[in-house]
Chain A
Amino acid sequence: MIKSEQTIFQRRVDRANRRARFLITIGGYSIIVSIVGILLFLIYQSLPLSFKTSMKDLLIVELPLRVNKTQLIGIDQYQEISYFLDDKGEAAYYSIINRDFLTRDSIQLEDGEKIISPAKGSLNKEVFAVGTDHGRIITSEIRMNPRYQDNRRFIEPSLKILDTFTVALPPETEVNHIEKIAFCQNEDGNLFWSWLDHTGNLHLKIYNSEDDISFDYLLTEYLGREKVSTLTFSYDGEKLIIGSQTGELFWFDLSDEEAVYLRQNWKSSQFAITALAFLIGNSSLVIGDQTGLIEVWFPVRDENDQFRFKPIHQFKEMSAAVIQILGSPRDRTFLAIDETGRIQLNYSTSNQTQLEFKKSDYPVVAASFAPKADGIILLDQKQKLGMYQLKNEHPEATLKTLFGKVWYEGYIQPEFVWQSTGGSDEFEAKLSIVPLIFGTLKGTFYAMIFSVPLALLAAIYVSQFSPRWLSRIIKPTVEIMAALPSVVIGFLAGLYFSPLFEKHLMTLVLYTFILPLIFLLSIFLWRLVPEEKRMRVPMGWELLFVIPVLGISSLAVLGLSNPIEVTLFSSNFKQWLFETSGQNYDQRNSIVVGFALGFAVIPIIFTISEDALSNVPNSLSSASLALGASRWQTVRRVVIPAAAGGIFAAVMLGFGRVIGETMIVLMATGNTPILDLSPLNGFRAMSACIAVEIPEAPVGGTLYRVLFLIAFLLFIFTFIINSLSAVIGDRLRKKYARF
């Protein structure tokens, strides 16, 4: 009877054990699973950054064109209809879906007139100018307007002539050929033409649409003996670049249409410049020469504060003369096409050649990007049309741009810059993570030099020296500090203490000198008191002496700060600081952040190290004391080494906390992503950067993914730190704490 009762009881205990073990196991594993899940999600979101650019054939077809020579091609944004403009001025529309020609339009040419030079004039419109062998320049636009009917989309192409003019005949000639032409229609609707006639004269015509006036220039004289080989406008019509047969380049500044002048003339190659194009943003100029050299140049401020084109990036050389360069309408990608039909897809900012291909054995006669830069259309000499889908989603994020120095447009040298968004689509995203990592480390550094000594000394005092009633108050109080939401600390630091610091900067600086001075002085005075009397102070009550010392130094500082500032620093310390060190005092600076972050981690470091110190067995300190060691010797030589593992873990945990801390750095740093160690200015931490930018980052975009990459890096940082603290802490504990 009793036996069976016992077995029942035993069974019940077993069952409870099993259940408990099951639940605990589930709990443990689910934590591991969720952490791995987070890690995988971060990787999943940021991995596409590393995907290579890819291209897919959408359509390859031999066109049954009756016409002779196609001069220009283009495609609508949905990649449904493309147009072909031939040298007779006929525009044929081709439906890519039906693989058939639709309607036609025509630029009305005269009898026997032929187009000999075409030029597109915009990145986001199909507007172009063509020069004919009758000396006429015809400017037109092809619109591909979508129309919706029965929930279906139809693209309705149409051609519209914008302007036609006949070039003045050079003296003693009967006909005029427009040999080469460049054209631009800028956002204000102003038109710019520059052309080379068959007598070798270079002309410029600017039409101001607002005032309806034209300006004509003859630029030949500026070129000296150089023969024009190619020419291009920037898309805003402010720059005209002429390339010569001998590798010379000329920059004409058109920003004042009434006073066009040659701004810079330089030699970029030993050979003829054969292709020129600006990239979006109107700053980067891609130059291709006869030997296949491809370079990106942009204006950089020189020593005399003058903008000068400078060579920035050099791309992989092509095997033959570069005949065409096409800038992407969306980003700083460009196509370079050489004589043999070889094509390179390059990205300017990252200086990377993303694709290199050859789709046909014959030279390319016309090429165009799709309006969204997600496709390329190519036509070769044998009328073979190729349409290719382009997957080039994150060209601006490469290892080099994320972690290396990059020479951005407008900068005087390669730099680490984080500036993810700008005012317009033409903005060159600067995605260097280095300033953010630096910011995080800088914030951590200032926070740690503030909090570690304070927290550790407090822990030592509370665990080893203070009277028991005092530690009973201090410890919970410090622990309550940990409960303070970091947003409150950040708010106080950013909005209350920063201005206060700035206002009383002199006082604070003075404090850092006077307080230790008065402390040393008072310790010296204290030593003058006879030993007999000193011994009477019970241990831990020395605290009482700190209060008057603090009081005296505060009074001294308050009294002295104003006179000192007036006499020594010509009554403005900040100004003096700026003039002597060149350091500007930012209101949101690393000192304030260091205090605030330090305040947030002091409880962690304090609590854990205090526990570690208190857990050092009494037998050890007793042994030390019994050997005649003083209290301080005991603490320094026995207790602290024995608690080293715990103290190290405490500091590392604090470190991990600071690295991941977001609200305080967000609110109190000013979030300026600069690379400057000075404590007088702010920084931008990785965590704050994520918090600031993720709401505005388009999902799936480069910035979005880069932010996830930053999150991944943060994860790795904290993971490494925590693992290190565990491993090293464990080793220290094994070494010192086997009692």
Chain B
Amino acid sequence: MVVNIQQAVSQKTAGFLTDEKIVIETLNLFFYYSSDSPALKDVNIIIPQKKVTAFIGPSGCGKSTLLRCFNRMNDLIPGTYHEGKVLIEGEDINKTGIRLERLRNKVGMVFQKSNPFPMSIWENVAFGPKVNGITDNTDLDEMVKSALIQADLWREVKERLDQSALDLSGGQQQRLCIARALANKPHIILMDEPASALDPISTGKIEETIDELKNQYTIVIVTHNMQQAARVSDYTAFMMTGEIIEFNDTRTLFTNPDKKLTEEYITGRFG
């Protein structure tokens, strides 16, 4: 279910999103790694469908934490808890009875450091469909191919699908991870600094891939690199100390920020 913008009343910064459909919405989200202090403070944000939304901010500001709230990867860290709600396609993902497997099938993720499985390229891409119950090899072949094409890797690896994924270069590995996430046919792809460990050429390729993907997928990307955010994203949220300072369409945020803090950050006065 896609929630219309009008329903997200509480969102102050939503004015610029009037024409968009919303897929993710947080309501007064607090997140705690331990009981001392929240890592996220009262976060209210809406993420529009089939657009690229970037989270920027200094290290430790909570942007990755927020991202990981969307597919509940934070659950893996013992002792964490949250308050407030996260709605994905209108559904509260923290309510009891939610199947995590189904949620993560829908919300794919690409990590900061490429983490292909120590298996063949084919096995890597087919992993998601396989664990979600697809066993037919021709179907899998088809899915692997289309995912690799979407991730712009097909041309480079089609001859050696049975070779170890670990033999690929860093950039190729990261695009393989994107393909792996795509093979599940997710609605949303979360990217946690996907290019931070890559050289400029590989980064460029990843960015091109993101650009092509945004027609079909909702992409949320966390990045350190403000130029990257400016290049690839449609909307950008600037976060600091667990709060969303400003959320706006990317051009406005970078050219004419509302908040002084935002301006200071993007002009490089701290960071």
Closest 5 CB pairs of A and B: A628-B105, A619-B115, A629-B131, A626-B109, A627-B128
Q: Is the CB–CB distance between B104 and A628 below 8 Å?
A: yes
Interface residues on A, range: 20 to 34
Given A627-B180, A735-B164, A739-B166, 7 extra CB contacts under 8 A = A619-B113, A620-B117, A622-B111, A623-B180, A627-B131, A628-B104, A638-B117
By CB atoms of chain B within 10 A, which of A532, A626, A735 has the most? A626
By CB atoms of chain B within 10 A, which of A622, A627, A638 has the most? A627
Query: Is B156 part of the binding interface, using a Cβ–Cβ cutoff of 8 Å?
Result: no
Q: Is the CB–CB distance between B104 and A625 below 8 Å?
A: yes
Q: Is the CB–CB distance between B118 and A630 below 8 Å?
A: no
Query: Is B184 part of the binding interface, using a Cβ–Cβ cutoff of 8 Å?
Result: yes
A to B CB contacts below 8 Å, 19 in the list: A532-B96, A535-B96, A535-B97, A619-B111, A620-B115, A620-B117, A622-B115, A626-B104, A627-B104, A627-B105, A627-B184, A628-B105, A628-B132, A629-B127, A637-B131, A641-B119, A737-B118, A738-B118, A738-B166
Number of inter-chain CB pairs below 8 Å: 83
State the B residues within 8 Å of A (CB).
71, 73, 76, 78, 96-98, 100-105, 108-109, 111, 113, 115-119, 127-128, 130-132, 164, 166, 177, 180-181, 184
Q: Is the CB–CB distance between A627 and B71 below 8 Å?
A: no
State the A residues within 8 Å of B (CB).
467-468, 531-532, 535-536, 617-620, 622-630, 633, 637-638, 641-642, 735-739
Among B71, B78, B116, B130, point to the contact of A626 (Cβ < 8 A): B71
Q: Which residues of A contact B102 (CB under 8 A)?
A: 628
Q: How far is the CA of A619 from the CA of B109 in the complex (A)?
A: 12
B230 → chain A, closest Cβ, in Å?
A: 27
Q: Which residues of A contact B119 (CB under 8 A)?
A: 641
Q: Is the CB–CB distance between A623 and B96 below 8 Å?
A: no
Q: Is the CB–CB distance between B118 and A735 below 8 Å?
A: yes
Q: Which residues of A contact B71 (CB under 8 A)?
A: 626
Q: Which residues of B contact A629 (CB under 8 A)?
A: 101, 127-128, 131
**Contact A641:B73 (CB < 8 A) given known A626-B104, A628-B128:** no
Among B100, B115, B118, point to the contact of A736 (Cβ < 8 A): B118
Q: Which residues of B contact A623 (CB under 8 A)?
A: 111, 115-117, 177, 180
Q: How far is the CA of A629 from the CA of B117 in the complex (A)?
A: 13
Q: Which residues of A contact B100 (CB under 8 A)?
A: 625
Q: Which residues of B contact A624 (CB under 8 A)?
A: 117, 127, 131
Q: Which residues of B contact A618 (CB under 8 A)?
A: 76
Q: How far is the CA of A339 from the CA of B248 in the complex (A)?
A: 119
Q: Which residues of B contact A736 (CB under 8 A)?
A: 118
**Contact A622:B131 (CB < 8 A) given known A532-B97, A535-B96, A638-B117:** no
Q: Which residues of B contact A467 (CB under 8 A)?
A: 78
Q: Is the CB–CB distance between A622 and B127 below 8 Å?
A: no
Q: How far is the CA of A618 from the CA of B127 in the complex (A)?
A: 17
Q: Is the CB–CB distance between A536 and B96 below 8 Å?
A: yes
Q: How far is the CA of A633 from the CA of B118 in the complex (A)?
A: 15
**Contact A637:B127 (CB < 8 A) given known A622-B115, A627-B184, A736-B118:** yes
A205 → chain B, closest Cβ, in Å?
A: 90
Q: How far is the CA of A622 from the CA of B132 in the complex (A)?
A: 16
Q: Which residues of A contact B109 (CB under 8 A)?
A: 626
Q: Is the CB–CB distance between A630 and B113 below 8 Å?
A: no
Q: Is the CB–CB distance between A628 and B118 below 8 Å?
A: no
Q: How far is the CA of A532 from the CA of B181 in the complex (A)?
A: 28
Q: Is the CB–CB distance between B118 and A642 below 8 Å?
A: yes
Q: Which residues of A contact B103 (CB under 8 A)?
A: 628
Q: Which residues of A contact B177 (CB under 8 A)?
A: 623
Q: Which residues of B contact A617 (CB under 8 A)?
A: 115
Q: Is the CB–CB distance between B118 and A641 below 8 Å?
A: yes
**Contact A628:B111 (CB < 8 A) given known A532-B96, A637-B127:** no
A345 → chain B, closest Cβ, in Å?
A: 64
Q: How far is the CA of A2 from the CA of B132 in the complex (A)?
A: 68
Q: Is the CB–CB distance between B76 and A622 below 8 Å?
A: yes
Q: Which residues of A contact B115 (CB under 8 A)?
A: 617, 619-620, 622-623, 739
Q: Is the CB–CB distance between B118 and A625 below 8 Å?
A: no
- Nearest CB in chain B to that of A634: its residue: B131
Q: Which residues of B contact A735 (CB under 8 A)?
A: 118, 164
Q: How far is the CA of A490 from the CA of B33 in the complex (A)?
A: 49
Q: Which residues of B contact A738 (CB under 8 A)?
A: 118, 166
By CB atoms of chain A within 10 A, which of B71, B78, B104 has the most? B104
Q: Is the CB–CB distance between B118 and A739 below 8 Å?
A: yes
**Contact A630:B97 (CB < 8 A) given known A468-B78, A623-B111:** no
